[in-house]
Amino acid sequence: MAPTPFEPSQMLRQQLIAQGHAGLAAGHMRFADNAKADPLAAGAEVRRQFASYYGDLLSAMANNPLNARQVGGGTAKGFRYENWLFESHPGWEVNATLFLPADLPPPYLPVVMSVGHSGKQFSAYQLPCQYFARAGFAAIVFDPPGVAGEKQPGNDHFNDGVRCYLTGDTSCRYFIGDTLRSMDFLASRPDIDTSHGFALTGVSGGGHSSLYAALLDDRATLIAPSCCLIDQGKFVLDLCYSSCPETLMPNRLRDGLDDDILLCAVAPRPVLLMAGSTDEVYQIEDSRKIAAAARTHYTTAGHANRFKFLEDTGGHDYSLNQAREFVQFVRRQWKLSSTTPLPATQANDFNLLEPAQLACQPQAAANMLTLTRVRAAAIAPDRKPPTIAELQSFLAISDQLAAPTFTTRTPSVQAWFHNWTECTVATETGIMVPLSVADPGPDHPALWHFDDAGRQRLVTRGGLLSLAIGQADRASIKAALYSADLRGWGETAMAAHPYESVSWGAPDRFAAYVGAAIGDSPAAMRLRDAWQLVRTFPLRKHTVLSATGAAGPIALHLAALLPGQFAAVVLRDVPASYAALLATDEFNWPHDIIFPGVLTHYDLPELAQAAGCPVYWLNPLDGARQPVTATMLNGRTEVDDATHGALLQKLLYN
């Protein structure tokens, strides 16, 4: 295949895609090799790796009381229902509705139906649960964090989900926690028979939850995910589908855990994979390939009869036909001798309950955001200024990186008192960093500048950087300027992909989520760019480092990696701290500003302490991108360009 031509607006995306494919290819090869030796042992290894993404989730839930209480219920045609609240995380209430047979005596076999990016009040969840109850099962359903259900404040699975990365967590812990906790709740009831284990099912994101929960908990003895499994390489990487943080756990793509591998890892437990032939999201061709891989794996493991693929008519939905197939599959796999006749699947024989009938009104005080704040606060006392070695280890950055190469893009132009040159530095294979250099001579001080809005933003039209270096002022002292567009910024900003035209899609979100999943965040990549630039243009004896916006954390990291080598660092309109990104309900920063796991090591103030030079914070901002309160940073308030420029001049020439 011919190499893809270099295109600045696709450069970062191409690198993310390439690294993702490399991880997936290695993962498939590793799993295939392991499965040849022992199919079930290969699956056990995948489950161990997958569990590592969830940290202390299982132990934390085991130590948290259920605090279950019934808050409503009623009867309807062919079933009765109960509304319950119980906790999965401290203070976090699961708003569950339990569908039960109308006339059959207990005990009942348990079904857990997780909801996707929707609400339990809709037909794809209510109607299957009604069907299960009519067939003699107890089926529990509950809203996921955010989206269309009752658990919305603090649970935006994009803005609040991506902030979970700060503490080294995956937001998926809050989706899966409710599925696991529903099993705990059902197991606590005397009318539920758990001797066969639990059957887990769901559509779309609910199907993901069913699969992920089974990988974490062996009590899930049968799963039936519907309309949810894909080829990550095609769907997430090649198509750049606007995915979510909860399905892209940190390091998942690096470790090569594609959906087909995760499904195979459930073996030897029974799996019914369901898909819609006209699914507009998860295309049927991909579902067929995953089904074929799972069938081969189950056959090799000696359990061919425990896997089935249902290609349903219809689209992205959990139909009554799927519900019927699920009941039949459970009866067959659990060897049930039930005499309860299977209900009919005519839609007109089922009636949706009103949303008010299912409402549980869970408390909103505990949510994805508040629990992340709690986790950040718990590890805050352990944070300290990092050493160079600690930073290099965490960020995988050192002089061992391949040497950068420098290319001049334009001839040098003498403009007043500076020689201006446009150039690029190849910091890594396929990565070209545009750089503007204005040099009055080698004996002058230098100003380095990074800006997420582009290297020329504060230069053109007499911008404050031009004034600071004495661009057109005969009487002023002169300084050199090095202003770069680190990858994905300025000239190399990512162009939007068609799948990012939806309200929840954006290039920075793709970059953040995929970057976390490949174990190489865009923030870390940009820091490598800055490091390589310094290797290309060694710092002068007196050099000031300047940064604005989302570039501020990059500058602080660079200064901490090179302690004492900058005369000062000047930050404007940058985050006051990573903790400040969690302090506000609103989150208005690009999602790719985040270093996954950073708060388990240090925060920005600790980096400033490690810089070995004065650090000036001009108008530090919170998570909503608003000025922080005066008490947060010693009363520093908003500044204008004149104040900013005057400070730079003072630091450069005094």
Hey, which residues does 483 pair with through a beta bridge?
Answer: 436, 449
Cα gap 105→45, rounded to integer Å: 41
* Residue 290, pLDDT score: 98
**Six-digit token pair at 380?**
């805050």
Average pLDDT of 369-388? Answer: 97
pLDDT above 50 for 4: no
Cα gap 471→652, rounded to integer Å: 14
* Residue 639, pLDDT score: 83
Q: Are 493 and 527 in contact (CB under 8 A)?
A: no
Q: Same topology for domains 38-227+258-377 and 383-653, yes or no?
A: yes
Average pLDDT of 328-353? Answer: 92
Cα gap 223→475, rounded to integer Å: 77
Find the angle CA(271)-CA(275)-CA(278) to the nearest 5 degrees. Answer: 175
* Residue 337, pLDDT score: 87
- Residue 125: its H or E element: helix 123-134
pLDDT in tens, 306-317: 999 999 999 999
**Six-digit token pair at 466?**
């031009």
pLDDT band at 50 (very low <50, low <70, confident <90, very high): very high
pLDDT in tens, 579-619: 999 999 999 999 999 999 999 999 999 999 999 999 999 99
| Residue whose C-alpha is closest to residue 602's, from 379, 332, 448, 285 | 379
**What single-letter amino acid sits at 370?**
T
pTM: 0.96
| Residue whose C-alpha is closest to residue 318's, from 527, 111, 619, 603 | 111
pLDDT above 60 for 137: yes
The radius of gyration computed from the CA coordinates of the chain, to the nearest angstrom, equals 28
pLDDT band at 622 (very low <50, low <70, confident <90, very high): very high
- Please state the separation of Cα 325 from the chain's center in Å: 34
- Residue 193 DSSP code: -
pLDDT in tens, 405-419: 999 999 999 999 999
pLDDT in tens, 487-537: 999 999 999 999 999 989 999 999 999 999 999 999 999 999 999 999 999
Average pLDDT of 205-223? Answer: 98
Hey, which residues does 414 pair with through a beta bridge?
Answer: 419
Pairing, β 271-276 against β 413-415 = unpaired
Average pLDDT of 560-569? Answer: 98
Average pLDDT of 552-573? Answer: 98
Query: C-alpha distances in angstroms, 34 versus 30, 44, 45, 291?
Result: 6, 10, 9, 20
- Cis peptide leading into residue 107 (ω within 30°): yes
The dihedral formed by the CA atoms of 516, 522, 524 and 528, expressed in degrees to the nearest 10? 150
Cα gap 329→86, rounded to integer Å: 30
- Residue 523: its H or E element: helix 522-536
Cα gap 383→602, rounded to integer Å: 5
Q: Give the position of tokens 């392991």.
A: 34
pLDDT band at 1 (very low <50, low <70, confident <90, very high): very low
The dihedral formed by the CA atoms of 520, 525, 527 and 532, expressed in degrees to the nearest 10? 130
* Residue 636, pLDDT score: 46
CATH of region 383-653:
3.40.50.1820
pLDDT above 60 for 84: yes
Average pLDDT of 12-19? Answer: 97
Hey, which residues does 203 pair with through a beta bridge?
Answer: 226
Find the angle CA(145)-CA(147)-CA(153) to the nearest 5 degrees. Answer: 60
- Name the burial class of residue 430, with classes exposed (0-12), middle (13-18) and buried (19+) by CB atoms within 10 angstroms of its CB: middle
Give me the DSSP letters along 286-328: HHHHHHHHHHHHHHHTT-GGGEEEEEESSSSS--HHHHHHHHH
| Residue whose C-alpha is closest to residue 579's, from 536, 620, 525 | 620
Cα gap 160→146, rounded to integer Å: 9
Contacting residues for 80 by C-beta, under 8 A, at least 6 apart = 73, 74, 99, 100, 101, 102, 133
Share of the chain above pLDDT 70, in %: 98
pLDDT band at 341 (very low <50, low <70, confident <90, very high): confident
* Residue 172, pLDDT score: 97
pLDDT band at 629 (very low <50, low <70, confident <90, very high): low
Cα gap 244→221, rounded to integer Å: 27
pLDDT in tens, 390-405: 999 999 998 889 999 9
Average pLDDT of 98-107? Answer: 96
Cα gap 593→511, rounded to integer Å: 10
Cα gap 344→352, rounded to integer Å: 16
pLDDT averaged over the chain? 95
- Please state the separation of Cα 226 from the chain's center in Å: 22
- Name the burial class of residue 241, with classes exposed (0-12), middle (13-18) and buried (19+) by CB atoms within 10 angstroms of its CB: buried
Average pLDDT of 323-352? Answer: 93
pLDDT above 60 for 25: yes
Hey, which residues does 198 pair with through a beta bridge?
Answer: 220
* Domain locations in the chain as residue ranges: 38-227+258-377, 383-653
* Residue 637, pLDDT score: 56
pLDDT band at 243 (very low <50, low <70, confident <90, very high): confident
Q: Are 450 and 551 in contact (CB under 8 A)?
A: yes
pLDDT band at 3 (very low <50, low <70, confident <90, very high): very low
Q: Are 479 and 468 in contact (CB under 8 A)?
A: yes
Q: Give the position of tokens 């090095």.
A: 482
pLDDT band at 6 (very low <50, low <70, confident <90, very high): low
| Residue whose C-alpha is closest to residue 523's, from 581, 465, 436 | 581
Cα gap 87→580, rounded to integer Å: 28
Domain spanning 38-227+258-377, CATH class: alpha beta
Query: C-alpha distances in angstroms, 48 versus 32, 39, 54, 152, 265?
Result: 17, 15, 11, 32, 10
* Residue 370, pLDDT score: 98
Hey, which residues does 435 pair with through a beta bridge?
Answer: 423, 484
Average pLDDT of 141-167? Answer: 95
Interaxial angle between packed helices 172-187 and 205-216, expressed in degrees from 0 to 180 and rounded to the nearest 10 = 70
Find the angle CA(104)-CA(107)-CA(111) to the nearest 5 degrees. Answer: 95
